[in-house]
Structure formats: structure tokens, C-alpha cells
Structure 1
Amino acid sequence: MTTRPDVAARSPTGLRIRLFGTAVVIAAADLAVKAAAARNLPGRGTVDLPGPVDLRLLFNPGAAFGLGAALPAAAIVIITGLVVAGVAIFAWRMAPTLGRVARVGLALVLGGAVGNVTDRALDGVVTDYLHTGWWPTFNLADVAIVTGAGLMLLHSFRRPPSTQEDAPP
């Protein structure tokens, strides 16, 4: 007996695999771009790009927006690692019950968080390289986290499909 791919993909295990697989791809892409930025941007100052974002290499010793920069790197890795573990547990438990948009959002949040915590665990700082001049310098993982949170927020405003119990008599 064979299982149809579309049915297997909608099984709880299939949904979890897709969510975590997407998160792994996001984290890997983030770490690859950070490595390229660290290799190619030192000493170049700001590289002007067309549009609102330029390239500027910075290393963030703190958490979001540099908060906690005075804390030891190990403390930030442990705290953010625990948060990422909590997000992963939530993702594992919720993947089968969430809609597609929320699952994609959660995969983006998880992948971005894993990328940033991995980067910090390697050398105590997070590599940032996207610079606007009006917002703190950020990276692909940050973009994934914000985009994912936005998708999850949008999904939360979706009205659940009505059931016959909700229909007027």
C-alpha cells in the first residue's frame, strides 16, 4: 500500500517535517550570508546599494537592538537558546493544528532564531550587515523573525471556518 504524497504532507508528521525543514533552510541561508558578509565586508565601510538598504558589517554583542550587551555572551546564548527551545517545542506541538500561513510564519521565526543563536554561540556576537540609516543594522535572520511574526499575527485575525453549529437555523 502506498501513501499519496499530498495526504502524507498533511499528516501531523509531514506538517512537522515541512515546518522544521523550512526552519533549517532559513537558518542555513542566514548563516551562509553572515559568513559571506564577514568575509567580504570588513574594511569596506558602507556599501551603497540601490534602494533603502545598504551593507555595513557590525557585530551585535547584545540581544535584540543591542539590549543586554553588558551581559556575558554565555548568558545571552543560554537565555536565547531556552527561548528558541520553547519556540521549537511550540512549533512541534502546534504544527498539525495551524493553518499554512501560521506554519510558514512559525518556520520563519524558528529558522531566524536558530540562525541568530547559532551565530552567537560560535563567537559571542551576532553578525549584522543590512543597514538603513534609520533603523538598527540587522540580518536575514531578523528579517525572517519579523516576517514570520507578521504572518502569524495576520493568521490570528483570520476568522475560523464556520461550522454548521454556527450557522443560523
Structure 2
Amino acid sequence: MVPRNKRHLNQEEKKREILNAASALFAENGFDGTSMTAIARSAGITPNTIYWYFPGKDDVLIGVLNNLTAGVLTEMATMTALPIRERLLNAITIFERPESLMNTVHSRITQSEVIAAWHSRFHMLIEQILVYEIIKAGIAKERAGTLARLLVYVIEGLLSHPLQQNDRENMVDAMLELANLPA
């Protein structure tokens, strides 16, 4: 069966279908194992049509990452009553899910300017959230930016080099203690 364009769908709906298809294929086959043609077929469009919406596969990846990030932020917003330690451990668990694609991002930073730019914006977003949390915990604003950056790097390190749950908890506890943040 040859895919056909769904002309009755508006652009945002079609874009959403493409991103949903890409998300499923990336989770199943990985970024490198998924072609633009496979994404188009899965979305029910012709291969050339996908390029009307996304200049390349990295741009599709960014769309998928933006959707995932929005979902994670929504999920994290439901955890505001939890202590910072629990929220950090939950964030690490969420971002290490295979569908989060964070390892793909880190492997593509040197190969793709658009991925590198997305990664920088993502860091800034997470750092801003952490700065807010750190200041809310009573740490001086002057120190909050450095501590937030440190937290981001520790989280990325734990994502890149997974540890057993007990070791991960010990790392987070040590980081919070060094930062003088309440667990």
C-alpha cells in the first residue's frame, strides 16, 4: 500500500501525526535505525511530504524532544509537594527512559547545530527551574546559578553512566549535602 497525503488535515494535525510516528519509531528502532521514509510511511504520508514540515531528521527529533519535555515538565509539576531529593530522583528516572532520547541528543551535539542549540536551550530551561527551587530552599541567589548548573551536570552524568538505585541515591544525597540543600 502506498501512503497518501491526508489533505483534509491541517498543518498542525499533520505535524503532530509525523511526530507521533517518529516518537514510536525512535523508541522502537532508535534514532539511527529510523529513516525519514519510515517516519513518513508510519504517518501515512508520502516520503517527500515530510520535508514540507521538517527540513531533516534532526528537526523531527527536536519536535519529539519538545513534546517529551513538555510532558516531563507537566509530570514534574505534579510532584511539587515532594522533597527536592525525591523530585531529582524522579527526574532522573523520567529522563533515563528509553523514549527520552537524551543519549541520542548527547551523541549528536557535535554532529548537528540544531541539536546543539536545542541542548543549550534545554540546559537553560532546567537550570532556571533549579535556580527557582534552590532559592525557594533558602540558598542565596548569587550561589543558585552555580548550584543549578552543578545539579544539571550531575543529573546528566547519572543519565550517561547509570548506577544502581542505591548508588544513584547516594550521589544525589552527596550533591544535596555539598550544595547545602535540604534533602
Q: Compute the TM-score of the two structures, normalised by the length of structure 2.
A: 0.28
Q: Which structure dedicates a bigger proportion of its chain to helix?
A: 2
Structure of greater relative contact order (alpha carbons < 8 Å, 6+ residues apart): 1
Higher strand share: 1
> Under a length normalisation based on structure 1, what TM-score does the superposition of the two structures give?
0.29
